[in-house]
């Protein structure tokens, strides 16, 4: 990216700052935000929102925040970040007049952060920035039954603001931007701003063999991996019921299931199975926290990743599994086929019998289905962050010429 574009970049890190402050484990959205910090941090200013107030940090403070966010999620890094936040918090809460230095700058918001707040629209109008938003999914609008109360209403406000104020929208997939287009047309009667499809990259540590990782399975028995927060949308209950049936039929020969992810919202039935089912007790391992090295080791030794979700905005675990040579058994979702084509074996998320048969086949050392997928996987290359940012950089250069939003009038909320 050339210098002219670099001088215009403002990068919102609010989501990363406040989640790190609370010691929260990084999600897929967080990892995307961190990738943007790593790519743009050396040539951007940090933006932080707090209590309805938005501030553009100085170049010096921006560097400090970017460096600490990229350092990792150790307790030491978190405490130093908390100290830095406490030192600048008073200035974040003070009112400030419009700053001419922000007018015309590209403002990147990668985490859906603050779009539902009235103060965000006010700041856009006063600052004159050119907002570019990243859309991860529209699940709260298309599948509200899988979301916390109030989340559909919040996401409606986010997407409405995005459609009316963005000079550009980045989507993680064609599927996501297609959902946004339908929402814009049918519910908002507007067109989607200029948009770019830029698939998320795979962390190199997930699939690189650096001498520390091995394809030797971590467990003695054949095992499968599920990766993601335990919640209704991820459909853990189906897989746990499949395991209970396999255990009652196969006994000690039952393959093991490794569930990697924290317990989330409305997962009581899955948790009941995990805590109370005697049938699966010796066959299921639950890891609520897992570092990248351990995750990679489990993934590389698995017979397959199981991805049984009812709906997804992207599907990063699917790409990460295929990137390290691990087959995938997945729900038949459009975004999965967009990312991986015909490589995985697909089943309906309610086809328990189909999942059971596939899992039992994959567990066998001479699995025909697994061998066939490995053959389909041969020669496949995952999307990379390098590819992602090559597209984004070129596209942002075009947006520099778009007139700033300084003419916007303050909204009446």
In terms of domains, do 140 and 17 share one? yes
On whether the CB atoms of residues 70 and 41 are closer than 8 A, the answer is yes
Describe the strand order of the beta sheet including 284-287 as a list of residue ranges: 284-287, 256-260, 223-227, 305-307, 328-331, 345-347
Residue 407: the pLDDT is: 35
Predicted confidence (pLDDT) at residue 209 exceeds the cutoff of 50:
no
Note whether 171 and 191 are same-domain residues: yes
What is the pLDDT at residue 24?
A: 81
Residue 245, pLDDT above cutoff 60: yes
Q: How confident is the model at residue 406 (pLDDT cuts 50, 70, 90)?
A: very low
Q: Is pLDDT above 50 for 289?
A: yes
Mean pLDDT across 234-246:
97
Average pLDDT rounded to a whole number, residues 307-329: 96
CA torsion sign, 56 to 61 to 62 to 65?
negative
Same domain flag for 69 and 128: yes
Q: Is 412 part of any domain?
A: no
Tell me, what CATH number does 397's domain have? Answer: 3.40.50
Residues 6+ apart with CB under 8 A from 115: 109, 133, 157, 158, 159, 161, 162
Q: What's the 3-state SS for the chain?
A: CCHHHHCCEEEECHHHHHHHHCCCCCCHHHHHHHHHHHHHHHHCEEEEEECCEEEECCHHHHHHHHHHHHHCCCHHHHHHHHHHHHHHHHHHHCCCCCCHHHCCCEEEECCCCCCCCHHHHHHHHHHCCEEEEEECCCHHHHCHHHCCCCHHHHHHHHHHHHHHHCCEEEECCHHHHHHHHHHHHHHHCCCCCCEEECCCCCCHHHHCCCCCCCCCCCCCCCEEEEECCECHHHCHHHHHHHHHHHHHHHHHHCCEEEEECCECCCCHHHHHHHHHCCCCCCCEEEECCCCHHHHHHHHHHCCCEEECCCCCCCCHHHHHHHHCCCCEEEECCHHHHHHHCCCCEEECCCCHHHHHHHHHHHHCCCCHHHHHHHHHHCCCCCCCHHHHHHHHHHHHHHHCCCCCHHHCCCCCC
Give pLDDT, residue 402.
59
72: pLDDT confidence band, cut at 50, 70 and 90?
A: confident
Burial of 152 (0-12, 13-18, 19+ CB in 10 A): middle
Domain residues for the domain of 24 are 3-201+386-407
Same domain, 373 and 402: no
- CA 52 and chain centroid, separation: 25
Q: Return the pLDDT at 181.
A: 97
Q: How many domains does the chain have?
A: 2
Asked if the structure places residue 99 within a domain, the reply is yes
pLDDT of residue 211: 38
Same-domain status, 153 and 292? no
pLDDT tens per residue, range 151-171 = 999 999 999 999 999 999 999
Residue 409 has what pLDDT?
31
If one counts every other C-beta atom within 10 angstroms of the C-beta of residue 269, the result is 13
pLDDT digits (tens, 9 = 90+) for 368-401: 999 999 999 998 999 999 999 999 999 999 887 7
Tokens describing residue 169: 């929208």
> Are 168 and 210 members of one domain?
no
Same domain as 188, residue 106: yes
Residue 83 in any domain: the answer is yes
CATH of the domain at 309: 3.40.50.2000
Q: Is the separation of the CB atoms in 149 and 265 below 8 Å? A: no
The larger pLDDT score, comparing residue 13 to residue 212, is at: 13
- Do 268 and 180 share a domain, yes or no? no
Say if residue 405's pLDDT is above 50: no
- What was the pLDDT predicted at 265? 84
Pick the most confident of 72-86, 253-267, 345-359.
Answer: 345-359
Name the pTM for this structure: 0.88
51 and 76: one domain? yes
Which of 84-93, 210-219, 247-256, 370-379 is predicted least confidently? 210-219
- Which residue is it, tokens 């967080």? 30
Among 1-5, 13-17, 94-98, 407-411, the range of highest mean pLDDT: 13-17
For residues 243-251, average pLDDT? 96
Rounded CA-CA distance 291/387 in Å is: 26
How confident is the model over 334-358, as a mean pLDDT? 97
Same domain, residue pair 186 and 216: no
For residue 411, the model assigns a pLDDT of: 31
Above pLDDT 90, what percent of the chain? 72
Residue 413 lies in a domain: no
- Separation of CA 288 from chain center: 17
Specify whether 176 is located in the same domain as 222. Answer: no
Based on the domain organization, do 374 and 391 belong to the same domain?
no
């Amino acid at each position: 990216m050339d210098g002219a574009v670099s001088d215009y970049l403002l990068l919102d890190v609010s989501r990363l700052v406040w989640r790190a402050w609370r010691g929260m484990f990084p999600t897929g959205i967080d990892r995307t935000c961190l990738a943007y910090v790593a790519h743009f941090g050396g040539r951007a200013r940090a933006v932080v929102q707090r209590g309805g107030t938005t501030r553009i940090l100085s170049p010096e403070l921006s560097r400090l925040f970017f460096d600490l966010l990229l350092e990792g999620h150790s307790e030491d890094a978190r405490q130093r970040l908390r100290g830095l936040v406490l030192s600048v918090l008073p200035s974040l809460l003070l009112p400030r007049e419009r700053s001419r230095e922000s007018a015309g700058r590209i403002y990147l918001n990668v985490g859906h952060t603050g779009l539902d707040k009235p103060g965000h629209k006010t700041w856009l109008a006063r600052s004159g920035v050119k907002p570019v938003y990243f859309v991860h999914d529209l699940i709260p609008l298309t599948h509200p039954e899988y979301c916390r109360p109030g989340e559909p209403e919040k996401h409606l406000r986010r997407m409405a603001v995005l459609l009316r104020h963005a000079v550009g929208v980045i989507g993680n997939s064609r599927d996501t931007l297609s959902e946004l287009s339908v929402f814009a047309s049918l519910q908002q009667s507007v067109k989607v701003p200029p948009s770019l499809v830029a698939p998320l990259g795979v962390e190199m540590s997930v699939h690189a063999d650096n001498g520390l990782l091995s394809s030797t399975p971590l467990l003695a028995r054949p095992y499968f991996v599920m990766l993601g927060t335990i919640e209704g949308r991820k459909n853990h209950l189906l897989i746990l019921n499949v395991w209970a049936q396999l255990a009652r039929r196969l006994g000690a020969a039952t393959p093991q299931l490794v569930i990697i992810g924290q317990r989330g919202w409305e997962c009581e039935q899955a948790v009941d199975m995990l805590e109370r089912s005697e049938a699966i007790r010796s066959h299921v391992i639950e890891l609520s926290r897992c570092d990248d090295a351990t995750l990679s080791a489990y993934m590389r030794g698995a017979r397959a990743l199981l991805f049984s979700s009812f709906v997804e905005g992207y599907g990063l675990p699917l790409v990460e599994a295929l990137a390290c040579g691990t087959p995938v058994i997945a729900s038949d979702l459009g975004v999965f086929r967009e990312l991986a084509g015909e490589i995985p074996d697909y089943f309906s998320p309610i086809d328990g019998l189909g999942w059971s048969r596939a899992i039992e086949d994959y567990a066998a050392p001479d699995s025909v289905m697994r061998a066939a997928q490995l053959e389909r996987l041969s020669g496949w290359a995952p999307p990379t962050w390098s590819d992602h940012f090559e597209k984004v950089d070129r596209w942002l250069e075009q947006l520099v010429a778009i007139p700033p939003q300084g003419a916007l009038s303050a909204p009446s909320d």
